[in-house]
Chains A and B, each alone.
Chain A
Amino acid sequence: MAEQTEAKIPTVIADGVDIVYRVNGTGAGRGTATAALNRIMRRKQAEKAAGVRRVHALKKVSFVAYKGEAIGLIGTNGSGKSTLLKAVAGLLPVENGHIYTHGQPSLLGVNAALMNDLTGERNVHLGGLAMGMSREQIKERYDDIVEFSGINEKGDFITLPMRTYSSGMAARLRFSIAAAKDHDVLLIDEALATGDRKFQVRSEERIRELREHAGTVFLVSHNNKSIRDTCERVLWLERGELRMDGPTEDVMKEYEAFTGDKSDKKAAPKKAA
């Protein structure tokens, strides 16, 4: 048993994390020009008076993620799942607490770096470079990326501009580019919902591979099946609070009872924790 403890290497540690969003111009009648001026003039004063609303998105969230784990993040809409991912990626400042990570966690997503007017081929290069791959690495993996995406299954589409792709094709190419890199800590936000069933199965396989190479995978999804297929541990967030943290089946049962999801027959509806 002692061995088991030794073997567990933490990759992400969240220590009492609070995240607060500040939104400008929300108060009633605050959208006017005078209100905006007022806001600028009174910047140093209390935020409330200046019409800034504070949204407390995460409250005292603590957990430790270990190497080799795939962790699902579940919760109803607006419960703070994506916020937590962004904070782990270091893209959002924490109000209180700390997030410690091993290496640089990366969000799975290169959408923003890709350009619709360029060919798929050039987008593979651009996306790879944006993720910090070297040119040699991209050259090496180029064929794999294209093959995985299945873009060329129906003809030579990779040399066409991405704006000519169907939305499913584009999503598949984006996922393939994003998944081409090995990450220390990989954060995935609902990426598995893209593409046809065949591609989804391939994506799940690829995520398992990434997990073996990488270390830790976080997956946000509303698809309970893909959480069950991919993750062995689940964090359940509700209203910004960590409500449950445990083995997938335990947490999913409670969660399904909570959301009233009857699709899973095994989950006997009982009172949520």
Chain B
Amino acid sequence: MSQVLDTPPPTQASADDDLAALAARHGLSVSGARPSLPEYVRQLWARRHFITAFATAKLTAQYSQAKLGQIWQVMNPLLNAAVYYFIFGVLLGTSRGVPDYIPFLVTGVFIWTFTQSSIMAGTRAISGNLGLVRALHFPRAALPISFCLQQLQQLLFSMTALVVIILSFGIPVTPRWLLALPALVLQSVFNAGVSMIMARWGAKTPDIAQLMPFVLRTWMYVSGVMWSISKLTKKDHLPHIVTVLLETNPAAVYIDLMRYALIHSFHGKQLPPHVWAAATGWALLAGIGGFIYFWKAEETYGRG
């Protein structure tokens, strides 16, 4: 009869096979393996309260040291809009030809800012939170999604400011306002998807975070944030491909949808063709594609 020790003796390399067999016999699993996609979705759903709590906490922490506190949530977008109005509305006079230019501009700036900051935050979601990733177990997709949620909450503050601006310009409230909701949902899904793609890139190559501001600024200037795409494409001199690119640009699609929903003078014919199809298509493509792309590298985040 073999003697049973209180503790096993130091194991030798020769015991390797036994250890694997022992693990299998007791149903132990390999530590840190990537879960299957359905399992991953289930884990993510189980962490939904963490995702929302983390987003809200980040948002509140932002202004907790400021004297005016949470008032900055609304002041910030208002000041932003004022600066753009001063430069493009007063100094450069881009407003010519666009009715209700200020609401047009401010809507563009806010909706664009939502996409821009979601992508920026997504790029740093993993690389900027390595401490969290290395200390705790949770589906990593919780991070980029949580940052997008934070930006969405930020946008909702901006939207209250926007409503005040729109009403003060005497723009009527119409049933079209209801369209803002699906537009916002689709944009959020799109943003979350792109953030997850950027999060994976940013986790592998943190340098991308240095590059993104330039990419995003270029994207902003072609997205019709401060000018009307429909006015430009109406002229004949543009090659067809440029027109198509300008009109299918997801940022432009979401911006124009929101303008159409909120600003009465923004006509349906100013919208790009098949706008809802484009909005839904981009959301599904980025949302599902981004999620799967992010999950594929789940076990590599925060390592090495």
Q: Contact residues of A with B, CB < 8 Å?
A: 1, 4-5, 9-16, 21-22, 60, 62-64, 86-93, 98-102, 104-107, 109-113, 115, 117-118, 122, 125-126, 129-132, 134-135, 161, 233, 242, 244-247
Q: Which of A87, A98, A101, A111 contacts B20 (CB 8 A)?
A: A98
Is the CB–CB distance between A13 and B22 below 8 Å?
A: yes
Chain A residues, CB < 8 A from B300: 93
How distant is the Cα of A15 from the Cα of B12 in the complex, in angstroms?
10
Known interface pairs A93-B304, A112-B132, A245-B11; 7 further A-B residue pairs with C-beta atoms within 8 A, sorted by A's residue number: A4-B4, A15-B23, A100-B28, A115-B57, A126-B54, A130-B132, A161-B64
A residues in contact with B30, CB < 8 Å: 98-101
- On whether the beta carbons of B47 and A15 are closer than 8 Å, the reply is no
In the bound complex, what is the Cα–Cα distance between A115 and B150 (angstroms)?
15
User: From residue A227, how far is it (CB to closest CB) to chain B in Å?
Assistant: 15
**A14 / chain B contacts, CB cutoff of 8 Å:** 19
Asked if A122 and B57 make an inter-chain contact with CB atoms under 8 angstroms apart, the answer reads yes
The reply to whether A100 and B29 form a contact with Cβ atoms under 8 Å apart is: yes
B residues 1-57 touching A (CB-CB < 8 Å): 1, 3-4, 6-13, 15-16, 19-20, 22-23, 26-33, 46-47, 49-50, 53-54, 57
List the A side residues contacting B10 at CB < 8 Å. Answer: 63, 242, 244-246
B210 located at the interface, meaning its Cβ lies under 8 Å from any Cβ of chain A in the complex: no
Select which of A12, A91, A117 is within 8 A of B61 by beta carbon.
Answer: A117
**Known contacts A10-B23, A93-B303, A102-B26; is-contact A62 B53 (Cβ 8 Å):** no
A64 touches B11 (CB 8 A): yes
> Contacts A62-B19, A100-B29, A117-B61 known; A92 to B303 CB distance under 8 Å?
yes
- Rounded to whole angstroms, the CA-CA distance of A63 and B135 in the bound complex is 23
Q: Which residues does chain A contribute within 8 Å of B302, judged by CB atoms? A: 91
Closest A residue, CB atoms, query B24: A100
Counting CB contacts under 8 A, is B267 at the interface? Answer: no
CB neighbours (8 Å) of B304 from chain A are 21-22, 93
**Complex formed: what's the CA distance from A12 to B20 in Å?**
11
Minimum CB–CB distance from B73 to chain A (whole Å) comes to 15
Most chain-B Cβ atoms within 10 A of its Cβ — which of A100, A109, A115? Answer: A100
B45 to chain A, nearest CB (A): 12
Chain A residue at minimal CB-CB distance from B134 = A91
- Give the distance in Å from the alpha carbon of A133 to the alpha carbon of B268 in the complex: 48
- Complex CA distance for A100 and B24, rounded to whole angstroms: 9
Q: From A63, A110, A130, give the contact of B11 (CB < 8 A).
A: A63
Q: How far is the CB of B48 from chain A (nearest CB, A)?
A: 10
Q: Is the CB of A13 within 8 A of B19?
A: yes
- Tell me the bound Cα distance from A92 to B3 in angstroms: 36
Of B7, B58, B65, chain A has the most CB atoms within 10 Å of the CB of: B7
* Bound CA span A117–B61, Å: 5
Chain A to chain B contacts (Cβ below 8 Å), 21 pairs: A10-B22, A16-B13, A63-B10, A64-B11, A86-B134, A89-B31, A89-B32, A90-B31, A90-B33, A91-B135, A91-B303, A93-B299, A98-B20, A99-B31, A102-B26, A112-B131, A112-B134, A112-B136, A118-B64, A130-B136, A246-B9
Bound state CA distance, A100 and B11, in angstroms?
15
Known: A98-B30, A100-B31, A111-B135. A247 touches B7 (CB 8 A): yes
Closest CB in chain B relative to A120 CB, distance in Å: 13
Known: A10-B26, A15-B23, A117-B65. A101 touches B303 (CB 8 A): no
With a cutoff of 8 Å between Cβ atoms, the chain B residues found around residue A9 in the complex are 26
B60 at the interface (CB under 8 A from A): yes
Among B15, B16, B28, chain A packs the most CB atoms within 10 A around the CB of B28
| Docked pose: A12 CA to B32 CA in angstroms | 13
